[in-house]
């Protein structure tokens, strides 16, 4: 699952140590507080709400103190991990900080997969997803991010059939609780050609979501994850109303690696234009190496600049 010198997972896991060592990325100077593209070109202020992953928050203290730091950094919400989230502690942190939990990330989806050839493992994947949906509802969230599985578990036809059948079993609970299952496009060798070039489209993602055929299934579309493989603006146009939430990280095609949001060569202007064209309103989650309170503020500023939120 590596790509160039930095894998998606390694990029995120390495972030804490890199920030602590002062070597993660160049410091965010005054120049990067300016929009990456003109703020008056397809601005999304009032349309997007900034959130981030709890694993990015490397602030010492209680969960409430972490939540307060996130809010002070300029974020509107936070995504937790489930299974594994302490629901009661999270409720307290929400009440004491005023920062809502907008959703969760299914914490076991890489290791316990809906594409696994073993039906017992798929049953555990379903149970994990259902646990995440219940926990998300309990803390007032509205999405659970899900990685479908991995292409190495079988042929595309086998993985498609297994995962569709398994994930469909969670839809009644999602509907009951009012929590959407948000499928993320990731480097999992499924629904795209991992060895392919940058001319790929979102066709298979469209067909996959449509086969599940539910208003409680959509995409948490990661703008950085597949920039290597296609035009993110065009993918957004193809997916249309199937996009219910966004993730963002930077990516450099020239260097073949992930970057911080303000770096790389993603065409944010076209992304912004596409989001306006599909009339998107909703949450935008940073998924980059995090850090202390100062680093979280830098990330929030980069999101503002990239998406015209200033």
Across the chain, which has 310 residues, the per-10-residue mean pLDDT values are: 40 42 34 56 95 98 98 98 98 98 98 98 98 98 98 98 98 98 98 98 98 98 98 98 98 97 96 98 98 98 95
2 lies in some domain: no
Tell me, yes or no, whether 112 lies in a domain: yes
The pLDDT, as a whole number, for residue 19 is: 34
**How far, in Å, CA of 238 to CA of 219, rounded?**
12
Structural domains of the chain, count: 1
pTM of the model: 0.90
Which contiguous run of DSSP H or E holds residue 144? Answer: strand 143-146
Domain housing 280:
8-307
For residue 36, the model assigns a pLDDT of 66
Helix runs in 55-155, H state only: 63-73, 87-97, 119-138
**Looking at residue 205, which CATH number applies to its domain?**
3.20.20.150
Domain membership of residue 3 (yes or no) is no
Question: Does 265 map to a domain?
Answer: yes
Asked if residues 218 and 182 have their Cβ atoms less than 8 Å apart, the reply is yes
In a domain, residue 1? The reply is no
Assigned token pair, 142: 């509205």
In a domain, residue 132? The reply is: yes
pLDDT attached to residue 148: 97
Q: Read off the tokens for 302.
A: 């980069």
């Amino acid at each position: 699952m590596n790509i160039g010198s930095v894998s998606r997972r390694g990029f995120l896991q390495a972030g804490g140590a890199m920030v602590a060592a002062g070597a993660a990325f160049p410091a965010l100077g005054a120049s990067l507080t300016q929009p990456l593209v003109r703020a008056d070109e397809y601005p999304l202020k009032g349309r997007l709400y900034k959130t981030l992953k709890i694993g990015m928050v490397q602030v010492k203290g209680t969960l409430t103190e972490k939540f307060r730091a996130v809010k002070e950094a300029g974020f509107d919400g936070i995504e937790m991990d489930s299974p594994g989230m302490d629901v009661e502690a999270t409720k307290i942190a929400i009440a004491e900080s005023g920062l809502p939990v907008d959703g969760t990330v299914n914490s076991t989806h890489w290791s316990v997969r809906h594409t696994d050839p073993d039906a017992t493992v798929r049953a555990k994947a379903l149970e994990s997803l259902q646990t995440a949906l219940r926990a998300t509802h309990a803390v007032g969230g509205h999405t659970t991010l899900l990685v479908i599985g991995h292409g190495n578990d079988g042929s595309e036809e086998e993985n498609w059939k297994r995962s569709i059948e398994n994930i469909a079993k969670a839809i009644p609970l999602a509907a009951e609780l009012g929590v959407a299952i948000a499928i993320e496009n990731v480097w999992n060798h499924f629904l795209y050609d991992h060895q392919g070039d940058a001319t790929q489209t979102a066709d298979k993602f469209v067909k996959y979501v449509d086969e599940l055929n539910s208003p409680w299934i959509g995409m948490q579309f990661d703008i950085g994850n597949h920039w290597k493989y296609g035009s993110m603006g065009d993918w957004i146009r193809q997916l249309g109303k199937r996009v219910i939430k966004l993730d963002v990280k930077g990516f450099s095609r020239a260097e073949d690696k992930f970057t911080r949001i303000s770096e790389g060569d993603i065409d944010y202007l076209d992304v912004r234009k596409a989001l306006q064209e599909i009339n998107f309103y909703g949450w935008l989650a940073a998924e980059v190496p995090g850090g202390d309170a100062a680093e979280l503020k830098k990330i929030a500023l980069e999101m503002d600049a990239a998406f015209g939120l200033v």
